[in-house]
Structure 1
């Protein structure tokens, strides 16, 4: 892939400029795409086990379906065979069986698999991925994608976006009553990615403006006040819930404490947002760069440097002491993406060093050359573990880590591939 807007900051010696490294990234991405094709079910996609197979009791999962649709739609534009039918399959499921026809919005799974009212709640985290999938599929001209994006945006804007707060609300009961008394950094972080994609796909700057308002609150105010160690959990009055899920430290979406992998994920999102705003009108707030640098430093200090065996650990407490020392694969992928983004933006040699160090760790510990895919989680000693994430359900984070270094910081994924891939 030839980057149409090469960064003059990248030194000639950077791995990202080396043709062998770029071919290696492509190869790893293609391996991941092949591995995850078996996640297709009659409806949507389901989570794979460690062998790359659907377990006997597998059920369609809407987040997995949306993520797979996003990935395979973009892979379609790159000319990878077999990906368009998978993207179409995902769009069909999101337009039909996984959608709530009575109240609007999307279930987390098939309604027959949802046993309680809690299971049937409408989640911002999920809806952000439905929007992202629809936006990417629109760029790839996947059948049914435009209708999905129109409906998803209407639901997302009407129910989840809070104009007063400049963030997304968290969840509602299935009929949109009973708003949850919670404001979460995680779902809002993924909402920023979806907002930037929509802004590019629809040429709608209002979504880019919303993307800016979210980190302005969560990062430039709340995160900066805490030394860029980003608190995750708040109530609707914006009181930080420091003991939230204290009894559930390994929760996969809302763990107790803070998540250094999110510090670095915010870091590269801020750089992408800065680039998007500069492309839009030539100006962007200066704090996007300074906060991105500080977030990366805070994340690597709290997450990577606390691990004696390398890698980014899962969570820390408010004194930055490790809580869960296990190392999810997505934390490594987001650290890698942040290092690449900062390298492109600044040209500083320390980010090249981090970029190589993180890939070395992933290559030697995360990439499963025996069974395929990436190991989703390691323990503190870098042995395969399933305490937080069983199986190998997540293609999205690992695959994006192989593609991010090859693309400019803006526009967003699908739009960039459509314009620049070669």
Structure 2
């Protein structure tokens, strides 16, 4: 195997740097005049006729903070723009919280999503780190809690607690109407998964153990449901948290709520659970608990990769499977590959098992051969089952977040959120 695909090889670090630098350059034109994020096309040109999703604005803020924390100070402008988008452009000043998005005509998209608010927490946690690291331009941006990134983070955490956290179930609600007066009966794990990511980042920044406790509550539910389903994770639930295994069976390729099992989420959960275990149980006295969660993560990863990789006669990770592991939507999404790269590296670091380093190299080779756009930059967001570029589910290249993290997480302390690891110098990137 080429050394540029091998974890910890100098050639791999250099390859990852080139990929990361190209991603940061590719996304630079994301910001609309109000700071919210345009949908980017195949060559990075904004598609200004589309709505500007607030979760993407948050992801751009997070991504460009990562660039800034790596010493690329020129990306402070992009972090500043996205923070403006979160503090003002996408904020609902009347009803609170963040709009799902802003339409091309400047009017808000109706509804309030937990998914969006989880990313607001992640982004604002990262922005706090950038401000502390010297990004002085961020300190003057005001939200309803006051100026600066710490006030934006407090706003995000308070809004989430008030509107989305259900203390009774120990899980998160999914979505409300714009006015926060009508709660949808749908419950789902995608928003809960990114809530865990957000809570771990919030804990790392604030040291408030409430966010550890919330992450644990969600994770314990997920492990229980996955154990009962051969380590495939049911994604969709009723308002009383009863699994709905046939949800969206007539629309199986939905961007956020597809039918069946989503192997990419199994892989992503495995990484987050491992980070949680290392963060919450760092001491030898807690080794048994830490091992329990890491072993659950290994089960999730193993099941997902076995179901998804090369399961239809071609390399790549399929988007979804049925409950027996048979592919349903064969398209290969870039974010699934990004999480496979991340989790393979994290599990290797935590367990020392060579199989994870071998998988990492395999996924890196696939990235270079099929998913990297060596002409325009960035990663192709979707390939078909023959690994040709497709746009059936995800046309264009609107997202940096998963790909940027895949160039960093493999070399960061697995007990920390990626931005915190960079801010604290707990990576081996240099």
TM-score class, shorter:
over 0.9
* Residue 221 (str. 1) matches residue 224 (str. 2): yes
Q: How many residues align?
A: 408
Q: How far did residue 81 of structure 1 move? A: 3.5
Cα deviation digits, residues 22-59 of structure 1 (max 9, x gap): 12212211111111112222122111111211124244
1:168-179 superposed matches below 5 A = 168-179=172-183
Q: Does the CA-based 8 Å contact 2:4-2:11 persist in structure 1?
A: no
Q: In structure 1, what is the equivalent of residue 23 of structure 2? A: 32
CA distance in 2 between counterparts of 1:232 and 1:74 reads 30
Over 3 Å counting, the alpha-carbon distance change for 1:56 and 1:46 in structure 2 is closer
Alignment RMSD: 1.9
Could you tell me which runs of 5 or more consecutive residues in structure 1 were left unpaired when the two chains were aligned: 1-11
- Given candidates 257, 262, 269, the residue that maps to 1:259 is 262
Secondary structure class of the residue paired with 1:82: helix
* Residue 416 (str. 1) matches residue 407 (str. 2): no
TM-score (norm 2): 0.91
Q: Does the CA-based 8 Å contact 2:236-2:247 persist in structure 1?
A: yes
Cα deviation digits, residues 329-364 of structure 1 (max 9, x gap): 001111111111111111111111111001111110
Q: In structure 2, what is the equivalent of residue 110 of structure 1? A: 102
Q: In structure 2, what is the equivalent of residue 7 of structure 1? A: none
CA distance in 1 between counterparts of 2:381 and 2:243 reads 30
- Given candidates 342, 364, 374, the residue that maps to 1:359 is 364
1:64-75 superposed matches below 5 A = 64-75=56-67
1:164-243 superposed matches below 5 A = 164-218=168-222, 220-243=223-246
CA distance in 2 between counterparts of 1:401 and 1:393 reads 16
Q: Which has the higher strand share?
A: 2
Q: How far did residue 238 of structure 1 move? A: 1.8
- Given candidates 275, 294, 300, the residue that maps to 2:305 is 300
TM-score (norm 1): 0.93
Q: Does the CA-based 8 Å contact 2:232-2:266 persist in structure 1?
A: yes
CA distance in 2 between counterparts of 1:235 and 1:82 reads 46
Cα deviation digits, residues 99-153 of structure 1 (max 9, x gap): 000110000222785889xx41110001000110000000111333112111111
CA distance in 1 between counterparts of 2:363 and 2:297 reads 18
* Residue 381 (str. 1) matches residue 386 (str. 2): yes
Q: How far did residue 279 of structure 1 move? A: 3.6
User: Which structure is richer in relative contact order (CA contacts within 8 A, separation 6 or more)?
Assistant: 1
CA distance in 2 between counterparts of 1:30 and 1:64 reads 19
Could you tell me which runs of 5 or more consecutive residues in structure 2 were left unpaired when the two chains were aligned: 132-137, 140-147
CA distance in 2 between counterparts of 1:331 and 1:14 reads 18
Over 3 Å counting, the alpha-carbon distance change for 1:22 and 1:57 in structure 2 is same
1:112-191 superposed matches below 5 A = 119-141=109-131, 142-143=138-139, 144-191=148-195
Q: In structure 2, what is the equivalent of residue 340 of structure 1? A: 345
